[in-house]
Structure 1
Amino acid sequence: MKISARNQFPGTITAINPGAVNGTIKIDIGGGNIVTSSITEEAIGELGLSVGDRVTVLVKASDVLIGK
């Protein structure tokens, strides 16, 4: 599958924290960097996500906010 998102980061799922509607997925993308994503429980099930799975983080956003 081709996709337009240019910001793609391969990584490994290190944690899945279920919620009532959305779950939180933590992905280690290397170099000590962890990306956290909130996705629906339905999507977690449909994708069959498990800790240890190799996945690709795709980032496509019109705004990226940084605070200090």
Structure 2
Amino acid sequence: MSLGVVGLILIVRHLPQPWRGIVDAGVVVGLLWGLVTLLVFFLRALAGALPAVPTDLPVPPRTLGAPSVPAP
């Protein structure tokens, strides 16, 4: 994954204008979208709204010699 990101950076550095500007604008839009999403979830948490996903961890699998854990 890291090599892919580095490869894309090296390719985009050599793009002529306006293509490099278009790619840069896409990166900015993506970063802003993520920032807005984090802000929305943060404000919902401050308001007391819990996320609609389970926050508990699954029961770990039994290993040899470990005591059994009752299922919830």
- The TM tier, using the shorter chain, reads under 0.3
TM-score (norm 1): 0.19
**Higher helix share goes to which structure?**
2
Bigger radius of gyration among the two: 2
**Higher strand share goes to which structure?**
1
